[in-house]
Chains A and B, each alone.
Chain A
Amino acid sequence: EVQLVESGGGLVKPGGSVRLSCAASGFTFTSYSMRWVRQAPGKGPEWVSSINADSFFMYYADSVKGRFTVSRDNANNLLFLQMNSLRAEDTGVYYCARYYDSWSAYDYWGQGAQVTVSS
């Protein structure tokens, strides 16, 4: 069974940092590119970042470019999102999702990790 479990969220002050992790299981992690998607309160989801299977390609939404860094540890089936210089507008639930090429879709998602940026 495919499982994605996020961790590392919490309350952080503006300008602070937090590192999210996503533990993957139930599939061959090294065969899939991965995504981070966030959802702010009362808003629709927003794509945040993409990383391909071998970490050769990484992409970011303009809203987080230069502040967030995506990475992965294929040996341990882990996906990360390092979030620096956090702002109030970064508050939301952060989901990791698997991208399935054959469907052109995010076929599995985690339950999400809450990140709240507030003083």
Chain B
Amino acid sequence: QAQLVQSGAEVKKPGASVKVSCKASGYSFSSYGITWVRQAPGQGLEWMGWISGYNGNTNSAQKLQGRVTMTTDTTTTTVYMALRSLRSDDTAVYYCARWAVDRDALDIWGQGTMVTVSS
């Protein structure tokens, strides 16, 4: 069955960068996009951006533009999200989710990756 498996928890210092991976399996990778969503402790969901599994086109949230980079490796069906110049308010659980265009919705979610930014 389709699933997304993310990399493990990270602890970073302010100003550093983090790269989270999301391994897709059980479906045609090029037929779907991947969206990144984050959730700060005790807060709601925040849409970060998406990347096409077909051609690698991306679109990111305006507030994160310049700090976030999303890439794909089609040979390993893995998507990566890199966030640089980390601040304490970047502390959150980061989720990848499959974007089903025919549903206009995120139908499969990864297990989440906790990123803690602390000095």
Task: Determine if chain A interacts with chain B.
Answer: no
Q: Interface on B for A, CB 8 Å cutoff? A: none
